Amino acid sequence: MTSIKRVNTDEEVHFERRDNEISKSPDDVSLSFCSIMKDLWNYKLYSIFALISLIIYGVFPPFRGLYQGKAINAINSKYKTIRYDEGLKYSVVYLILGFFYSLFHFLSLWFEYSLGINLSKMYRNKMMKKYLSFHLSFYDIDRNSPGSILTKMSINTIQLKEFLHFIVGYTIIIISNLIATLILGCCYEYRLTLISFFFAFCNYYKCNKKICCAS
């Protein structure tokens, strides 16, 4: 006895497709860390210059503090020649470092902003193509109205810019600053540097423990 396979009618196929489209989540374009890092490589020039600017911007503060201390010590010297010669030399070096520090700060912000604009544009195009590929029944429910979709697209792109600036940017600055401080401190007095880092870690652990206990 042969079995007869039931064929869905056009109306059933339509309603089945409608139910599948409505069940889809609007968060269809991934904004994960790995996908963002992968898409950053599409803008190699901006990414490389942003990375260099952030590293240099993070390296400058220890050297600024070093030459500021040398300039203050020279100016406070009781010898007139040291006050004029050494004080002037270290003060000029400190001003030059301050100028380049401000310059690379500006460059890092500009390259981060440019990357944020390009990535936001790319993700908006991806999201728009995905939404346009959905069936019309997808927009019948309230959460998928055009206004809510546009709001979601705007919020996602704003979060992307903040992620690049506050998470990626400041992470690179902190790591480069930490490495530069550690190297510079070890060149002058490694024992004092290690003790300072040990007490800084202990203070961080103690404060973090208090915050966890309070919460």
Structure confidence at residue 55 (pLDDT): 92
In the predicted model, is pLDDT for residue 100 greater than 90? yes
Of the two residues 102 and 123, the one the predictor is more confident about is: 102
Residue 47's Cβ-side half-sphere holds a number of Cα atoms within 13 Å equal to 12
What's the rounded Cα separation, in Å, for the pair 133 and 120? 20
Mean pLDDT score, 55-60: 91
CATH code of 140's domain:
1.20.1560.10
- 62-66, 119-123, 159-163: lowest mean pLDDT where? 159-163
In the predicted model, is pLDDT for residue 68 greater than 70? yes
CB atoms within 10 A of CB 136: 8
Structure confidence at residue 57 (pLDDT): 92
Decide: helix, strand or coil at residue 23. coil
What's the rounded Cα separation, in Å, for the pair 208 and 206? 5
Residue 172 lies in a domain: yes
Separation in Å, CA 122 to CA 37, 78, 117, 193: 13, 63, 9, 46
Mean pLDDT of the chain: 77
Of 111, 131, 130, 124, nearest to 157 by C-alpha is 124
pLDDT > 70 in the chain, percent: 77
What confidence tens digit (pLDDT) does each residue in 176-203 have? 988 888 888 888 777 777 777 777 777 7
Structure confidence at residue 4 (pLDDT): 45
Domain that holds residue 44: 30-190
Calculate the CA 51 to chain-centre distance. Answer: 11
Query: How many structural domains comprise the chain?
Result: 1
Structure confidence at residue 16 (pLDDT): 57
Residue 154 lies in a domain: yes
Residue 76 lies in a domain: yes
pTM: 0.69
Residue 54 lies in a domain: yes
Separation in Å, CA 171 to CA 26, 27, 50, 51, 54: 31, 27, 13, 11, 9
In the predicted model, is pLDDT for residue 30 greater than 60? no
Mean pLDDT score, 25-39: 63
- 52-61, 80-89, 146-155, 204-213: lowest mean pLDDT where? 204-213
Residue 18 lies in a domain: no
164 contacts 112 by C-beta, under 8 angstroms: yes
Residue 207 lies in a domain: no
Confidence of residue 2 (pLDDT cuts 50, 70, 90): very low
37 contacts 167 by C-beta, under 8 angstroms: no
Calculate the CA 168 to chain-centre distance. Answer: 3
Confidence of residue 103 (pLDDT cuts 50, 70, 90): very high
Instruction: Find where tokens 């590293």 sit.
Output: 55
Separation in Å, CA 176 to CA 58, 110, 139: 5, 19, 48
Residue 23 lies in a domain: no
Of 126, 118, 137, 119, nearest to 28 by C-alpha is 126
